[in-house]
Amino acid sequence: MWASAVLLVLLGSFGANALDNGLARTPPMGWLAWERFRCNVNCTADPKNCVSEKLFMEMADRLVEDGYKDAGYEYVNIDDCWMAKQRDANNKLYADPERFPSGIKGLADYIHSKGLKLGIYTAYGNFTCQGYPASGMHLELDAQTFAEWGVDMLKMDGCKQMDRHTMKKGYPQMTKYLNATGRPILFSCSWPDYERGAGIPINYTLVAENCNIWRNYVDIQDSWQSVLSIIDYYAKEQDTLVPVAGPGNFNDPDMLIIGDFSLSVEQAKAQMAMWAILAAPLLMSNDLRTITPEYRDILLNKDVIAISQDNAGIMGKRVLQKGKIQVWTKPLAAVFQYATTIFNGGNAPTNVSIPVRDLGTNYDTGTIHIHDVWRQIEYPNLNYLYDVFSTTVNSNGVVLLHIFPVV
């Protein structure tokens, strides 16, 4: 009668050879500098916001003091533009000494002293996207250097590596060198996105063997349009992407832009709910020093984080689309439990009525309970076969549901 058990078993069986470094058993959570702080390297003109150790230390302080660490956010991630413009006499990368006077080792010590983890950035190819020295010719040395410094996560980009066919070799080499350091380092790969851009077929089996998380699609920007286009991409590709996600391996639709300049509160709730349904990494790129409480509360919502961090690590699917309304559903680890979003990408508040059996769950019959996560409303006794679920979805908004059987 409960057919969803079969689905869980099938999904859980993928990836016998998936990357085995013990990391990212659930989607990683933390903070990443890029979308908000970019390559701002002028600390004379903008000392508060330039890419410097001070910025990362201040974000670490906020993660700890404002409740993010307790909610699960643990990585503090540097992106591009941290390096000096050349390697040192031994060919090692080192941080710009004016902006990072403690060096990356010193910064890692600070981050670790707060109970947090440090992420760093490099690129495959000779230069990073912003033209700083990158790892193409020095994969082994750089892996060793990052491990010596105490780095816990590595994002390897690749825009200046023009021959994208080489990435199928280069990224797995880096995986081997990271493994050989003996330090568990969560590996974030940009490789599938570059293959997609170049029209090269992506082998997700190979990707999952070598990366913990990977970017599939273009960089997020600080706009609702950008969020919508990312959601569309994941819907279009879901039959390919859902099977490769699971503990240790996650598709990465890019950073959370909640609390930045563009998203309304409704739009921010929608991004948070959709990223939870997608089993996406929750890497905030915002200014935690100035974020307002309404956005902070969205990022700290325990029920939404629980859906994101569900142990089964299953990526949800779009199961229904009617005009601007989309329904996405993710099976949870607890048998017969689901999380569902009713997402409104349009500009009008919309009343929707959907037969309960069309919400993407996989019961055959029975009585179910629906909990509206953001609004804290209960619908305790719905007949799976005959009842219709009705709710109002705000414009550019989402209704997030937790669905479970009444036993």
Ligand X SMILES: *[C@@H]1O[C@H](CO)[C@@H](O)[C@H](O)[C@H]1NC(C)=O
Kindly tell me which of 131 and 335 has the beta carbon lying closer to ligand X. 131
Quick one: which segment of 39-47, 112-120, 224-232, 240-248 binds ligand X (CB under 6 A)? 39-47
Per-residue contact string for residues 142-161; x = within reach of ligand X by CB under 6 A: -------------------x
User: Does 243 interact with ligand X (rule: CB under 6 A)?
Assistant: no
Query: Least distance in Å: CB of 178 to ligand X?
Result: 7
Q: Which of 12, 67, 184, 366 binds ligand X (CB under 6 A)?
A: 184
Contact 63, 73 (CB under 8 A): yes
User: Does 77 interact with ligand X (rule: CB under 6 A)?
Assistant: no
Q: Which of 21, 102, 173, 262 binds ligand X (CB under 6 A)?
A: 21
User: Does 49 interact with ligand X (rule: CB under 6 A)?
Assistant: no
Q: Which of 49, 144, 173, 205 binds ligand X (CB under 6 A)?
A: 205
User: Does 126 interact with ligand X (rule: CB under 6 A)?
Assistant: yes
Kindly tell me which of 163 and 292 has the beta carbon lying closer to ligand X. 163
- Residue 346 class from Cβ within 10 Å (0-12 exposed, 13-18 middle, 19+ buried)? middle
* Token representation of residue 103: 């060096």
User: Does 321 interact with ligand X (rule: CB under 6 A)?
Assistant: no
User: Does 349 interact with ligand X (rule: CB under 6 A)?
Assistant: yes
Q: What are phi and psi of 321, to 5 degrees?
A: -145, 130
Contact 188, 212 (CB under 8 A): yes
User: Does 98 interact with ligand X (rule: CB under 6 A)?
Assistant: no
Kindly tell me which of 96 and 310 has the beta carbon lying closer to ligand X. 96
Kindly tell me which of 42 and 264 has the beta carbon lying closer to ligand X. 42
Tell me the residue number closest to ligand X, measured at CB.
Answer: 45
User: Does 229 interact with ligand X (rule: CB under 6 A)?
Assistant: no
Contact 108, 150 (CB under 8 A): yes
Sequence letter at residue 19: L
Residues belonging to the active site: 157, 219
H or E segment to which residue 175 belongs: helix 167-180
Quick one: which segment of 41-49, 282-290, 297-305, 313-321 binds ligand X (CB under 6 A)? 41-49
Total chain residues near ligand X (CB under 6 A): 22
* Token representation of residue 6: 């079969």
Residue 27's closest CA among 227, 310, 235?
A: 310
The torsion of the CA quartet 171, 173, 178, 181, rounded to 10 degrees, works out to -170
User: Does 377 interact with ligand X (rule: CB under 6 A)?
Assistant: no
* Secondary structure in 3-state letters for 6-30: HHHHHHHCCCCCCCCCCCCCCCCEE
Residue whose structure tokens are 């179910």: 368
| Nearest-angstrom CA–CA distance, 31 and 39 | 16
User: Does 20 interact with ligand X (rule: CB under 6 A)?
Assistant: yes
Query: Least distance in Å: CB of 131 to ligand X?
Result: 13
| Nearest-angstrom CA–CA distance, 363 and 161 | 48
Quick one: which segment of 37-45, 60-68, 212-220, 224-232 binds ligand X (CB under 6 A)? 37-45
Kindly tell me which of 21 and 102 has the beta carbon lying closer to ligand X. 21
Cα dihedral sign, 95-252-257-302: negative
User: Does 262 interact with ligand X (rule: CB under 6 A)?
Assistant: no
| Nearest-angstrom CA–CA distance, 186 and 315 | 19
Contact 22, 178 (CB under 8 A): no
Helices (H), 278-406: 293-300, 302-308
Quick one: which segment of 14-22, 240-248, 299-307, 380-388 binds ligand X (CB under 6 A)? 14-22
Q: Which of 179, 362, 367, 391 binds ligand X (CB under 6 A)?
A: 179
Q: Which residues bind ligand X (CB under 6 A)?
A: 20-22, 42, 44-45, 125-126, 136-137, 161, 179, 182-184, 203, 205-206, 209, 349, 351, 392
